[in-house]
């Protein structure tokens, strides 16, 4: 039998449990409500998001061409917006005002290492994106030292020699594919200045073929799955191993003989870290491969676009020829580093081709810290930790509020009095990146392209006979899609006579 007191206690306990359960449920509901409310408030500051499919997000649109996507979304969403790519969120910064944080942020905030890991199988272990930031900074110092003015002056002599030698094999007149010719000349010049005399004189064909296999192993799928066991990757890995063997022998030979050469290879061999440790053979090989990859494509692409534009615009072609005449009147046929530096009109012509067609169309960083960015209209956006932050030289270089008639080839936009690349701020022109990670090889690239085009303008009459080339958007490094057929005729006399 149950007593009255026990029933009372039972009712009390049941009421207590009901009250406790109600309070727990109320707490959960209130917590959820507050989190949703706070989330909705904070989301007001997040960048707008590109409409996309569930799960895959905007991957298909992005893979078809990021510049096309940017052209469609920028007018609707403004200079800061996010696109979902599978599990990643990529936030684009478009324009000099919002790009400042992208280029100036410390590595602890925005880093290259995570987003460029796909380069590791190509460059090799222990260099660039396979080491922590402090070591990478020291390796970048090696590049800087190898590209100092005194080094560049010796490189120019080699550039001029290679150009004279290469074009001496052309006949009195003929038709050539300028894209093919410049690609081959650039790899010859790069081999001599960067990889060394041994490669240029004895091993060029072998090394060139291996670099081609290495290059062919850099596919769009490589960005996502760099170690996927496909034929192109296996060929890449074999080429990388053989290149390491070749450079190891060359390094051994130089060290034993005490022979010093004026090239980047020698500079890397002699480089030392701050603690006094010398570079290893593995590191030297990786740094050389990284240097050639960084310079070969960009220089050959930009030199080809420069030619296509000049030969399509008689006004600017006449200007650069007149400049060559003036330089030759003052210096004769001699070409060196300081004389190339005087060629301002040619420099602006190259720079404008590079504005219209930067080979690297998207730059990426991994964001490790929440921060905010303010657009040119004063609107502030919160950029969450974990986003990939991106900018596009190909799109930003054609913003109409920065560059007048941005789709028109106009080298004079950089002339004194206009200088459109500076009016909107430090990051108006970003073909070579900028800030903490600006391209170290920019001076080398301009000298190389100047040396080639100075020789062509002085010694040949040139005429573009094919249609203006299209852009190869499918390439990892975006370049010229079509042949650039040019009719040439060797000048009977030097250009100033």
Mean pLDDT by 10 residues, the chain (497 residues): 36 44 48 45 74 71 81 93 88 93 90 91 92 93 93 94 96 96 92 90 88 85 87 95 92 87 92 95 93 84 97 98 95 93 97 95 93 92 94 95 97 95 90 82 93 97 97 84 96 58
Best CA proximity match to 183, nearest among 287, 309, 298:
298
- Let me know: does 282 contact 124? Beta carbons within 8 Å: yes
The pLDDT of residue 44: 60
Q: Is 475 part of any domain?
A: yes
- In angstroms, the CA 445 to CA 426 distance is 21
How many separate domains does the chain show?
1
- Confirm whether residue 439 is marked as ligand binding: yes
Q: Pairing state of beta strands 485-490 and 110-111?
A: unpaired
| Residue 96 dihedral angles phi and psi, to the nearest 5° | -65, -30
- Number of Cβ atoms within 10 Å of the Cβ of 76: 10
Burial class (CB in 10 A: 0-12, 13-18, 19+), 32: exposed
Output the domain CATH number for residue 72.
1.10.630.10
- In angstroms, the CA 43 to CA 24 distance is 28
- Let me know: does 92 contact 392? Beta carbons within 8 Å: yes
Q: Is 40 part of any domain?
A: no
- In angstroms, the CA 45 to CA 47 distance is 7
Q: Is 198 part of any domain?
A: yes
Length of the chain: 497
Q: Side-chain half-sphere of 141: how many Cα atoms within 13 Å?
A: 12
The pLDDT of residue 10: 39
Residue carrying the six token digits 């707490």: 27
Q: Is 31 part of any domain?
A: no
- Let me know: does 315 contact 348? Beta carbons within 8 Å: no
Q: Is 29 part of any domain?
A: no
Q: Is 482 part of any domain?
A: yes
Q: Is 462 part of any domain?
A: yes
Bridge partner residues of 80 (DSSP) = 93
Q: Is 248 part of any domain?
A: yes
The pLDDT of residue 42: 46
Go through 107-143 and write b for each residue having 16 or more CB atoms within 10 A of its CB, e for each that does not: bebbbbbebbebbbbbbbebbbbbbeeeebebbeebb
**Which residues form the domain of 145?**
56-490
Encode the chain in three state secondary structure.
Answer: CCCHHHHHHHHHHHHHHHHHHHHHHHHHHHHHHHHHHHHHHHHCCCCCECCCECCCECHHHHHHCHHHHHHHHHHHHCCEEEEEECCEEEEEECCHHHHHHHHHCCCCCEECCCCCHHHHHHHCCCCHHHCCHHHHHHHHHHHHHHCCHHHHHHHHHHHHHHHHHHHCCCCCEEEEEHHHHHHHHHHHHHHHHHHCHHHHHHHHHHHHHHHHHHHHCCCHHHHHCCCCCCHHHHHHHHHHHHHHHHHHHHHHHHHHHCCCCCCHHHHHHHCECCCCCECCHHHHHHHHHHHHHHHHHHHHHHHHHHHHHHCCCHHHHHHHHHHHHHHHHHHCCCCCHHHHHCCHHHHHHHHHHHHHCCCCCCEEEEECCCEEEECCCCCEEEECCCCEEEECHHHHCCCCCCCCCCCCCCHHHHCCCCCHHHHCCCCCCCCCCCHHHCCCCHHHHHHHHHHHHHHHHHHEEEEECCCCCCEECCCCCCEECCCCEEEEEECCCCCCC
- In angstroms, the CA 341 to CA 363 distance is 29
| Residue 334 dihedral angles phi and psi, to the nearest 5° | -70, 140
The pLDDT of residue 444: 93
């Amino acid at each position: 039998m149950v007593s009255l007191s026990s029933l009372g206690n039972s009712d009390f306990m049941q009421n207590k449990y009901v009250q406790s359960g109600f309070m727990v449920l109320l707490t959960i509901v209130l917590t959820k409500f507050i989190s949703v409310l706070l989330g909705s408030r904070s989301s007001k500051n997040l960048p707008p998001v590109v409409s996309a499919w569930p799960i895959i997000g905007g991957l298909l649109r992005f893979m078809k061409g990021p510049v096309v996507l940017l052209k469609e979304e920028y007018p609707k969403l403004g200079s800061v917006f996010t696109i979902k790519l599978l599990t990643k969120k990529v936030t684009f910064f478009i324009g000099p005002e919002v790009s400042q944080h992208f280029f100036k942020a410390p590595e602890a905030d925005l880093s290259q290492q995570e987003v460029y890991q796909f380069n590791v199988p190509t460059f090799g272990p222990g260099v660039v994106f396979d080491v922590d930031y402090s070591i990478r900074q020291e390796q970048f110092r090696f590049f800087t030292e190898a590209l100092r003015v005194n080094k560049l002056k010796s490189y120019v002599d080699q550039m001029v020699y290679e150009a004279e030698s290469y074009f001496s094999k052309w006949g009195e007149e003929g038709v050539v594919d300028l894209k093919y010719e410049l690609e081959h000349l650039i790899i010859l010049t790069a081999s001599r200045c960067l990889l060394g005399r041994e490669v240029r004189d004895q091993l060029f064909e072998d090394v060139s073929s291996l670099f081609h296999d290495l290059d062919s192993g850099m596919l769009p799928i490589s960005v996502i799955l760099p170690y996927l066991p496909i034929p192109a990757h296996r060929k890449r890995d074999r080429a990388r191993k053989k290149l390491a063997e070749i450079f190891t022998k060359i390094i051994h030979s130089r060290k034993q003989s005490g022979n010093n050469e004026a090239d980047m290879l020698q500079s890397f061999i002699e480089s030392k870290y701050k603690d006094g440790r010398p570079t290893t053979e593995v590191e030297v090989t990786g740094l050389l491969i990284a240097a050639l990859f960084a310079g070969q494509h960009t220089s050959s692409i930009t030199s080809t676009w420069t030619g296509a534009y000049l030969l399509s615009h008689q006004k600017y072609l006449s200007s650069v020829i007149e400049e060559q005449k003036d330089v030759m009147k003052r210096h004769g046929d001699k070409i060196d580093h300081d004389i190339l530096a005087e060629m301002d009109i040619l420099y602006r012509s190259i720079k404008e081709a590079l504005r219209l067609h930067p080979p690297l169309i998207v730059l990426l960083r991994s964001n490790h810290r929440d921060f905010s960015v303010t657009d040119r209209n004063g609107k502030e956006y919160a950029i969450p930790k974990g986003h990939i932050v991106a900018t596009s030289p190909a799109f930003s270089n054609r913003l109409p509020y920065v560059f007048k008639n941005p789709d028109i080839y106009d080298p004079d936009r950089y002339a004194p009095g206009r200088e459109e690349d500076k009016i909107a701020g430090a990051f108006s022109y970003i073909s070579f990146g900028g800030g903490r990670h600006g391209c170290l090889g920019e001076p080398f690239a301009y000298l190389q392209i100047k040396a080639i085009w100075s020789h062509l303008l002085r010694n040949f009459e040139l005429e573009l006979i094919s249609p203006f080339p299209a852009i190869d958007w499918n390439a990892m490094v975006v370049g010229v899609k079509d042949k650039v057929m040019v009719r040439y005729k060797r000048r009977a006399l030097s250009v100033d006579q």
